[in-house]
Structure 1
């Protein structure tokens, strides 16, 4: 077995003080994070944030200006050939030949990775079964739907059984059923021990499938960790909604006298406001409001979702 001279003991994915500079543009600036072996990591950021640049560096399609990145312990700078054998990359757009069938397409990449004989046949059959393209394996790629093309691209990334998967916007343009099926496939691969880095703008799906996330903007990593930990760190207020049977305007005036209540608004019989106190303070507030004559029929405390956290952490800046 060939051993890289710059291998780390830890597997998975690791970025170490990564920079990528294009002229005056710093696309990636001092980004460092680790995705442990067998984990699913969600990479979040607006367009132009540096996500794809980071992924291209991990896929050895670009070199960092400074720093390094490691795939299953191998350096993208010093051991790119070993990285490519360990990595499956699914870009946001991929090229294909119109008259090539799905089977021929996957078979081409299997041969490119050096798979031969029974081993290649076995991998081809597994990939077509796992991705659900078995019934279309002899159909030309030009006749596939967007969802089936994404399945085919995932199959291409999986054909050599990589330890690490990099998926750049895999659910873009898919219908709800196709997104759910793709999400289930990613979940299965993660459960089988593959390390997965996936970017997406569909944040609710990332929150459901990922063990941890990283939020990047203008090339800087703003937050990283589990979804729950990031939500807790950013949870400075909670969004309270009260539905009242009595006079909502009187309830609004009552709330304005309490400093814990900000951004109060009234829509029909519903009041909405930001509350900076804890759960006990919230219970005391509601009890006092009822004691002063307000009849409440419904109360809802909205905890911050991943979308809320994303909007709070980022500023909508582009390079």
Structure 2
């Protein structure tokens, strides 16, 4: 079973084609990150999966349910947090969640326990009797996530969940998403905070001007770009020919013997970091520091896109 199956999705607003033949296959339990500039088509795609965009071409399914023919059943399987979240500010947190628990048709006997569970998960238990309008933006965002967890959906659709949050609130949101990932939820998340997506997601898709320009794990995208990894090494008892031996190693493109370290550049996919470590150790050198680095997600994004919108 695929949690999300999108085939040749096309969305048009008048003469503007916002999404141009996107395809996605996401298995259960995966965290898929959507990366793209404003106007790329991320929100439009997520709105289709949320059953809010009926005018589209192609096929879209959630948990093997056709979105076009069975939207109500799809809604029972998803939790959707839009980029602009709406809350009823004249309610307390308790009233807000109990209202939506009733809307999700949870029985009165179950509501109290379910509300307490989602408050504990989102770290809002201490705010249960607070007015919603007294909450910080980060707390309101966590409350929106608590709301969509009430009916225990299989798939979470999160459109820019960290937008406008301060650094502490972003970290808290990231830790919450990690907890949901560990619970086995399938998560589709769009964000401009690219390095956080790289840390969280099992796979990412880079979208520009309505087209998917790259899709895969972070390592696969780096490999496609021909990214050079760099490892900084400090060794004791360096042998005279260690530098030359490293330069002859398959996959290594450059070795710089610097004052306090050796910097080794090699092609992604042609040499494993662990193999490089073992090679240096076998030459009789004692390793004091072994620090890999790699192109960050922002750089990959800039190399793959051209700054276009749909």
1:118 aligned onto 2:94: no
| Other-structure match for 2:254 | 282
1:308 aligned onto 2:299: yes
**Deviations 1:61-83 (Å, cap 9, x if unpaired)?**
11242112111111110110000
Q: 1:316–1:278: structure 2 CA closer, same or farther, 3 Å change rule?
A: farther
Question: Any conservation in 2 of the 1:18–1:64 contact (CA below 8 Å)?
Answer: no
Unaligned 5+ segments in structure 1 are 1-9, 242-276
Question: Any conservation in 2 of the 1:39–1:196 contact (CA below 8 Å)?
Answer: yes
| Other-structure match for 1:211 | 202
| Other-structure match for 1:266 | none
Count residues in correspondence: 266
| Other-structure match for 1:168 | 159
1:79 aligned onto 2:70: yes
1:97 offset after TM fit, Å?
Answer: 2.2
Alignment partners' CA distance in 2, 1:238 and 1:126: 43
Question: Any conservation in 1 of the 2:10–2:17 contact (CA below 8 Å)?
Answer: yes
Residue of structure 2 aligned with 1:151, choices 107, 125, 142: 142
Q: 1:187–1:240: structure 2 CA closer, same or farther, 3 Å change rule?
A: closer
Alignment partners' CA distance in 2, 1:156 and 1:57: 20
Runs of 4+ deviating beyond 3 Å: 236-241, 295-302
Q: Secondary structure at the match of 1:123?
A: helix
Aligned residues: CA RMSD: 2.0
Question: Any conservation in 1 of the 2:80–2:158 contact (CA below 8 Å)?
Answer: yes
TM-score (norm 1): 0.79
Q: 1:154–1:140: structure 2 CA closer, same or farther, 3 Å change rule?
A: same
Q: Secondary structure at the match of 1:184?
A: helix
Question: Any conservation in 2 of the 1:235–1:304 contact (CA below 8 Å)?
Answer: no
Alignment partners' CA distance in 2, 1:281 and 1:106: 57
Residue of structure 2 aligned with 1:98, choices 84, 89, 97: 89
Q: 1:11–1:121: structure 2 CA closer, same or farther, 3 Å change rule?
A: farther
**Deviations 1:295-319 (Å, cap 9, x if unpaired)?**
7555545632211110000111123
Q: Secondary structure at the match of 1:162?
A: coil
| Other-structure match for 2:273 | none
Alignment partners' CA distance in 1, 2:107 and 2:251: 62
1:26 offset after TM fit, Å?
Answer: 0.7
Q: 1:92–1:278: structure 2 CA closer, same or farther, 3 Å change rule?
A: farther
**Deviations 1:161-220 (Å, cap 9, x if unpaired)?**
000000111111112222112111111111111100011111111111100000000110
